[in-house]
Structure 1
Amino acid sequence: MLGIALGVAALIVVLSVMNGFQEELRARILGVAAHAQISGLDNTLSNWQSVESQAIKHPEVVAAAPYIMAQGMLSFDQNVQGVIIRGILPEYEDKVADIGQHMKAGKLTNLRAGEFGIVLGSELARALGVGIGEKLVLIAPQGQVTPAGILPRLKQFRVVGIFEVGMYEYDNGLALIDMADAQKLYRMEDKVSGIRLKLKDLYKAPQVAQELSAMLSSDLYISDWTRQHANFFRAIQIEKNVMFIILLLIVAVAAFNIVSTLVMVVTDKQADIAILRTLGASPGSIMKIFIVQGALIGVIGTMMGLLGGVTLAMNIDVVVPAIERLFGIHFLAKDIYYISELPSKLEINDVMVIGAVSLVLSLLATLYPSWRASKTNPAEALRYE
């Protein structure tokens, strides 16, 4: 019973933690990336206000924000970093992304047209060695033709904010500037790269993208977060499935112990089985006795495991810190991992599948010993009694 309980509890806790990690990473990625986005086929979109007003009419679309996406190079002192430049309207951006909630210094609203302010990721600011109020140079890849030849376009920006969303990809490679400043720097006039959308239900993003494609002009490209980060989340799902199979072996080993236990009981009770047979018990009745005994072990063990696993998964934010304090260790150090606490998300479907698989394995484990007991020959069993 304890073996089955331990295996079931371990499965529930591990899958809950992996669900928690998946949810946490998804939240952090989608705090910066869009649920869906609309762009032109040549990565430029003119008259974006008209496209936005059409997109916002979809019942699943909560908010929309225009953006300009371009590459650039930041230079400060002797440090140079290549970055993705995103031109935004701060009042719109706060509706579709959570960057404003992750500011370590300054505010997103400090970006104002014509002031050439810039907001950097924390790792990017650290790599450049720049702080709030300091000025750096943004080098645009589009050159300008002069009598001396083609020269890169340079513009000085002042750091007005630093954010940290907890994803290295964004903290180290993303810089935000006002959209009007981006249009001037990259010579886009009144055009933008596209429109970012926030949806009521992020899991409906593929369906919404398909419906928007039918609603809007055919010369627009609509993508969603499941396409942009498909490999990342697919890898997490594969890892979760593999962990389920590996930990299921613990339950299988415990179920195999039911086989060995019942075989020993059958051997020990040979004489009792023979007496029951001589009193009129059928082979089927004998088989049922041992099936019930083995199934009872499986049911009680599974219920103990479900209760313990669910309790631990729901209180992992209390249990893990207590273990860390007790042994003076830290499982996820803040200076190494962005997620410094073990997240947990208990899903009822996982609990039901684990419980059902455990019960099936336990029931299967009773079949061979029970069949062997039913085949006991009374005369042979009582010969030496």
Structure 2
Amino acid sequence: MAYLISDEGAELLESVKEFCKNEVQEQCKEYDRSGEWPKAIYDKAIEMQLHSLEVPEEFGGPGLDRVSIAALIEQMAMADAGFATTISASGLGMKPVLIGGNEAQKKRACEIILKGGFGAFGLTEPGAGSDPAAGKTVAVKDGDSYVLNGRKCFITNGGIADFYCVTALTDKSKGVKGMSMFYIEKGTKGLSTGHEEDKMGIRTSNTCDVVMEDCRIPAENLLGEEGKGFGIAMKTLDQARTWMGCVSAGIAQRAMDEAIAYGKQRIQFGKPVLKNQALQFKIADMAIKIETARQMVSYALTLMDKGLPHTKESAIAKCYASDIAMECASEAIQIFGGYGYSREYPVEKLLRDAKIFQIFEGTNEVQRIVVARDTIGRY
């Protein structure tokens, strides 16, 4: 891969490669079939502190730049996209705290991660997907507490998280301006998980409903101020989308690698099928698209590291990378021929894994709206 990363990142990358080769890639095949969450694999990842890559150095994290972290996440995605999604989603759960929280809140969330915990982010609701303003979850101030009621759905890490950052309306009359962000820890009375999704892909990640029924939390668990939750959520997604582009690039890279390896050993008409220029062009197109996606991810992350605006760039990275992940997985199946359609071979799984990246963290249709507005301007 062509990320330009720090020496520390390069050293860690070798460890991640070895870990994924020995502990993730082959083992996840069976978990993909069963749908079971592979706790043993994640326990080993936690031992290596792979789940805490995005914890800031000031709170005990590794202090890596985002591009170096991207190289590690992409390597995980090449082994198994569900595994990489779980690791990345824990960072997603932490982002609202880092964006809108005070120092005590940031320290608390980071401590939980460093001790082996996971985070989760709760914005989506049954009637509020691409339109988060349609959310129905409410938070009512009651003395020195807030009482939350509502249901979040499709929450990555929902069933395994140790803390959640969720949006709720504190003033329903104000729409998104009445939305606030709250931090809730596992075990809080009134907090539970519901329906677990039996997903098409990324089956080694956990996705379920998160339910709040008269869930009482201290008022100090409000992140930022009342009415600032929508802004925190959008800033969270601005960052998270690039990471989904990173995972998508890993899926695409794995698809190309598998297609090349198969194409070199598959003999038809007395020669390897990759001797045919038609298939060589497919590989060339994959390589062009993968490297373009990777560099867009790298650019968006560099803007983040420099504290510069990155909304459009993050949307482009996510949208383009997820689109080409689907294309590369489909082309890999084509190169495998009939074998590519069989679950005995690895490429059909890549297609199933890739699809969700065109949907979550904002559909690619929404990403194009974001890019269009930023490019054309509102009028």
TM-score (norm 1): 0.27
Higher relative contact order (CA 8 A, sep 6+): 1
Structure that is richer in helix per residue: 2
TM-score (norm 2): 0.27
Structure that is richer in strand per residue: 1
